[in-house]
Amino acid sequence: MTSTDNATDFDIIIIGAGFGGLAALKELRGRGFNVRVVDAASEVGGTWFWNRYPGLRVDSESRIFCYSTDPELLEEWDWHERFPAQPEVLKYLCHVADRYDLRKDMDLNTRVEAARFDKDSCRWTVMLEGGRSYTCQFLLGATGVLSIPMDPDIPGLDTFKGEWHLTARWPEEQPDFHGKRVGVIGTGATAVQLIPLVAGVAKELVVFQRTPNYVLPARNYPIDAMTSRSTKDNYEALWDMVRENPGGWAFPPAVRKFDEVPPEERERICEAAWEVGSMGLMVTSFADLMTNMEANTFVSDFVRRKIRMQVNDPAVGEILCPKSDNPIGVKRVPLGHQYYEAFNRDNVKLIDVSSNAIERITPDGLQLADGTSHDLDVIIFALGYDAFTGALSRIDIRSTSGESIAERWSEGAVTYQSVAMDGFPNFFMIGGPQIPIANFVPTLEAIAVYLAESLSIMRSKGVKSVEVKPEAVERYVKLMHELTEVTLFREGKRLRSWFQGANKEGKPASPLLHYGGLPMFLEDLAKERTAGFPSYVFQ
């Protein structure tokens, strides 16, 4: 059964038509649920719709940045690059929407404002922008991990005479930077992709860097017919590899511990991984890279040497090198496409604002704490996101005791297996806080399949309402803290990592990711289902 244009009552409403929401719609509808997807954007795609800044590419290999469950879809879709640019990813998601006729069950251009659960009927009422409302038994939040951009709340922005852009809300018509003086604030994965492209057209590009990153070479290449055929012929084994890799990558997991490797071998291992590109260095070098500071320091030093080799001016190279108190991987490692090389251009200037902060935007540009000013025609803000909790906290979804999600997470994110929260019956998340730190597409798809299978089982048992037990949430959150503490990710709070919510002032730092890896997470989900959902109470 599918929903119709006039229907207002559904089995399931999904908020969000990105990778997670589309997977959930496809999986749930395939199991006979009457589903409606609601998204504020005018097209499917989620973050791949809103982000369209120059240089935007996938940081995961395309062959595994796609849905895995339908062999026909895998067979018919051809990726053209190892790391495709945003238009190709959006095209893929539109293809998926069309191929499975998903659009007929969607309200695009529609924002969900609030939702309330009625304990008697065990149904949610979902309030939409403009006064309409829907009802449903189950409400699914698939609002995106990185969907709410950080505000450029630097004083004086309203006085700026030039144009400014947020990377995550980029105009559909690409702005023209020819002949302009452009400033980029931020040097995370977004800016790392954007900078080489802007450098190629702007008259002058000034990059304002607060914290340098370890940028690894992506090593993009076009995918020829033979490579594509070979990938398709081996997909089963490839997906097995992804599900067995802690980071959900198409690499065999690293098994060597740093101490087990003779010192003369270590450099060779790093060199080989560096040549492979992608996240190879992070996931194939040493099994204890994120738990053993000695291993981490070795790899961090290796990358620092590589950075210095790529930058002509030693002083600029030094500013681009992360400091020794910033272990590699604690913050998301960006993949570069001629990133460091951009700083060898005459029209690119790097300004270190680590101890000389941007104080204010002026009508003509911006001014730093020491009074120096930079005249600019354009400012690009690549400031990151209110990750994981941002989007759901902005929707007024209330628990049975009247608590909003924002209130629930006011001291840090709490979930059970990233999918549920006590007090919010019949509400589940796809891409909620505390999913594994892994390639997000296979992770989101696995969660969508898990929820579709679980809700199917519950429906067959006549379940009206399901709610996770508070002790299960407590147990899971404790595990998230323990996994943070035993890994170097514990440093994320000090380093303002979005993994910990520490990039946003006023946001309580708490583990937003599960550092135990994808296989552990998937195994725990499977155990919950096989055991008959012992962590939940049913009505």
In the complex, minimum distance from the CB of residue 191 to ligand NAP, in angstroms, rounded to a whole number: 6
Q: In 3D, which of 430, 433, 429, 395 has the Cα closest to residue 413?
A: 433
Q: Is 382 in the site for ligand NAP (CB under 6 A)?
A: yes
Alpha-carbon distance of 456 to 442, in angstroms, equals: 21
In this chain, which of 189, 279, 299, 348 binds ligand NAP, going by CB under 6 A? Answer: 189
Whether 296 and 290 have beta carbons less than 8 Å apart is answered as: yes
Q: Is 498 in the site for ligand NAP (CB under 6 A)?
A: yes
Whether 406 and 393 have beta carbons less than 8 Å apart is answered as: yes
- Count CB atoms within 10 A of the CB of residue 457: 13
Per-residue three-class SS string for 459-525: HHCCCCCEEECHHHHHHHHHHHHHHHHCCHHHHHCCCCCHHHCCCCCCCCCCCCEECCCHHHHHHHH
In this chain, which of 191, 378, 452, 458 binds ligand NAP, going by CB under 6 A? Answer: 191
In the complex, minimum distance from the CB of residue 19 to ligand NAP, in angstroms, rounded to a whole number: 12
In the complex, minimum distance from the CB of residue 89 to ligand NAP, in angstroms, rounded to a whole number: 9
Contact range with ligand NAP by CB under 6 A, out of 174-182, 288-296, 367-375, 383-391: 383-391
Q: Which of 232/493 has CB closer to ligand NAP?
A: 493
Whether 215 and 336 have beta carbons less than 8 Å apart is answered as: yes
Question: Amino acid letter at 403?
Answer: E
Binding-site residue total for ligand NAP (CB under 6 A)? 25
Binding to ligand NAP in span 68-127, by CB under 6 A: none
Q: How far is CA 246 from CA 63, 120, 273, 284, 492, in A?
A: 18, 42, 17, 11, 19
Q: How far is CA 134 from CA 9, 35, 274, in A?
A: 6, 11, 51
Q: Which of 201/353 has CB closer to ligand NAP?
A: 353
Whether 395 and 404 have beta carbons less than 8 Å apart is answered as: no
Q: Which of 395/512 has CB closer to ligand NAP?
A: 512
Q: Which of 89/299 has CB closer to ligand NAP?
A: 89
Contact range with ligand NAP by CB under 6 A, out of 171-179, 258-266, 379-387, 483-491: 379-387
Looking at residue 223, the DSSP 8-state letter turns out to be P
First to last CA, the chain: 25
Binding to ligand NAP in span 210-229, by CB under 6 A: 210-211
Q: Is 186 in the site for ligand NAP (CB under 6 A)?
A: yes
Q: In 3D, which of 108, 116, 114, 117 has the Cα closest to residue 43?
A: 108
Contact range with ligand NAP by CB under 6 A, out of 11-19, 182-190, 251-259, 342-350: 182-190
Alpha-carbon distance of 115 to 395, in angstroms, equals: 8
In this chain, which of 170, 385, 388, 409 binds ligand NAP, going by CB under 6 A? Answer: 385
Binding to ligand NAP in span 15-74, by CB under 6 A: 57-59
Q: Is 503 in the site for ligand NAP (CB under 6 A)?
A: yes
Q: Which of 336/384 has CB closer to ligand NAP?
A: 384
Q: Which of 186/433 has CB closer to ligand NAP?
A: 186
Alpha-carbon distance of 195 to 206, in angstroms, equals: 9
Locus of tokens 């210095």:
308
Binding to ligand NAP in span 331-350, by CB under 6 A: 332
Alpha-carbon distance of 196 to 210, in angstroms, equals: 18
Q: Which of 209/393 has CB closer to ligand NAP?
A: 209
Q: Which of 141/334 has CB closer to ligand NAP?
A: 334
Q: What is the DSSP string of 54-101?
A: TT-B-SS-GGGSS--S-HHHHHH----BSS-BHHHHHHHHHHHHHHTT
Q: Is 365 in the site for ligand NAP (CB under 6 A)?
A: no
DSSP SS3 for 263: helix
Q: Is 190 in the site for ligand NAP (CB under 6 A)?
A: yes
Q: Which of 59/491 has CB closer to ligand NAP?
A: 59
Q: Which of 121/174 has CB closer to ligand NAP?
A: 174
Contact range with ligand NAP by CB under 6 A, out of 10-18, 93-101, 466-474, 495-503: 495-503
CA dihedral 475, 477, 482, 484 (to 10 degrees): 160
- Count CB atoms within 10 A of the CB of residue 163: 15
- What the block records as the tokens of 334 is 């960006």
Whether 143 and 15 have beta carbons less than 8 Å apart is answered as: yes
Q: Which of 150/472 has CB closer to ligand NAP?
A: 150
Fill in the per-residue mask, 135 to 154: x = in contact with ligand NAP (CB under 6 A), - = not in contact: -----------x--------
In the complex, minimum distance from the CB of residue 63 to ligand NAP, in angstroms, rounded to a whole number: 15
Whether 439 and 247 have beta carbons less than 8 Å apart is answered as: yes
Q: Is 493 in the site for ligand NAP (CB under 6 A)?
A: no
Q: Is 195 in the site for ligand NAP (CB under 6 A)?
A: no
Name 477's Cβ contacts closer than 8 Å, sequence gap at least 6. 414, 415, 434
Q: Which of 188/412 has CB closer to ligand NAP?
A: 188
In the complex, minimum distance from the CB of residue 186 to ligand NAP, in angstroms, rounded to a whole number: 3
Fill in the per-residue mask, 275 to 314: x = in contact with ligand NAP (CB under 6 A), - = not in contact: ----------------------------------------
Q: Which of 248/423 has CB closer to ligand NAP?
A: 248
Question: Which residues in this chain contact ligand NAP in the complex, by CB under 6 A?
Answer: 57-59, 146, 185-191, 193, 208, 210-211, 332, 353, 358, 382-385, 496, 498, 503
